[in-house]
Homo-oligomer: A and B are copies of this chain.
Amino acid sequence: MNIGEAAAAAGVTAKTIRYYESIGLLRPPPRSTGGYRLYSPEDVHTLRFAGRARDLGFSIDEIGNLLALWRDKRRASADVKRIAIGHIVELEGKIAALQAMVATLRHLARTCHGDGRPDCPILTSLAEPADAGSAHCHPPKRAGRRKKA
């Protein structure tokens, strides 16, 4: 089948498939005489695997590792589980960072009149020096974003 059909069957876009192939995540499929990529039903399985792993937030590298384990019939399930657990930890870190932002924003929004007057603690707090604006709130910023933080 052509790339469009395979993409629809796997729940990803043709664009994504070409991208995954270009970065070496997927092996290049055979081509028709006209140069079209030709996919087998097994390929569709692999594509769906990759797409669903992405939906679960795995990075390209992690998906590559999972794909290798998937292809290896003698894998140990412990290896798979370790990757999954590690990913859970990573996701929870992001969740915590986002929740800290929400908490800070909620606090700021609560103290803002929200009417026609110009004075707004959200704005003044954002411009406050150093950590004065966030110290009374929740330190953990974005996960690993700031180098000097």
Binding site for B on A (CB under 8 A): 11, 13, 45-46, 48-49, 52-53, 55-57, 66, 69-70, 73-78, 80-82, 84-85, 87-88, 91-92, 94-95, 98-99, 101-102, 104-106, 108-109, 112-120, 122-123, 126-130, 133-134, 141-142, 145-148
A80 surroundings in chain B (CB, below 8 A):
112, 120, 122-123
Copies of the polypeptide in the assembly:
2
A48 surroundings in chain B (CB, below 8 A):
126-129
Q: Is the interface of A mostly helix, strand, loop or mixed?
A: helix
- State the CA gap A84–B110 with chains docked (Å): 10
Interface contact B99-A85, CB-CB below 8 Å? no
Partner of A84, one of B73, B94, B105: B105
The 4 A-B residue pairs with the shortest CB-CB distance in the complex, in nearest-first order: A77-B120, A81-B114, A49-B127, A80-B120
